[in-house]
Structure 1
Amino acid sequence: MDIDLKRLRGDMKRLKAARVASPIGKIKTGATEIIRSNFDELERLHREDGATWTEIASGLAAQGVTQGKGQPLTGRRLTALMHNIRTRAEKLKGKAIVRDRTQILPERSQKDGRTARKTVSLSPEMNRPLGGSVPDQTISEDEIRRTELAKHAHLLGKR
């Protein structure tokens, strides 16, 4: 099946324009950015000065911080924004720690400066052939049973 690349490009351009024009993900009132940039101070006001979230929200609303379609910021919305910002910061911090752990590990290098490759091999017990036979020969299940029985025959007594 052939596709019309010219039409595909046009469709993609149209869909991209619709996505860019969409309100999803765009800054609406700027309240989140204001709270994010003053997060520590708002926390301090709440914890150290004893201000309630409703009082802080009223003070922010008096300075023009709005939510939604120009409505004044409420204590409930401020609490939600603070929680979201805190959660996002913790998530990013966790990712940074994981990223740092991978960068902390030093690379082993060879004498010529190239990075050494780590090779994996079987232990000696796994490398030895069963029953002392040649490795390329196939051993039947019956032979394996007899070999194991012979190893423990002294425990079983006479037959």
Structure 2
Amino acid sequence: MLKPPRLDLRRLERELVLAADARGPKLAPGGRPVTGLMALVRENLDALVALQAGGSTWKEIAAGLTAQGYKTADGRPLTDTDLTGVISSVRRQAKRDAARAATRQSRLDLPQRAPHGPERRLSLSADLVSSASSHDPPAIDASASEEAIRRENLDKLQDLLKPSLSKKD
């Protein structure tokens, strides 16, 4: 029987990088190229709405985003219709996510999610924490050697052992 060839992980990593490069740009759902516009609007929705409320038109805002390199999926410059469409999508997603979260909160059979706050520090259990007054290492029973501890534990297990393996005196 032939032995299978050995796996060369370094070569595999190089081939995966080449395959990823050959695959081309990352695609959004529907096979459209990812432009980053949706993420930009999602992160800066309040600022964009404030600009529009401050007197700028969506057309001017779209032109400014195009000047910064944002385009549609097919490479065209952004229009006001494109921008307002993305803004509407982001608002719809936020509304849907809020409705789902409210539905989840009302369900009693699901555990409550932990709030996203500062991470708690890990600490030792109470039996592992040394007392604050004593910084000395715990005193070790000098009379109990490893051999004595082993024999003591073996005596506790005698009823589980086969008779031939029992303690020979």
Report the TM-score when normalising by structure 1: 0.47
Larger radius of gyration between Structure 1 and Structure 2: 1
Report the TM-score when normalising by structure 2: 0.45
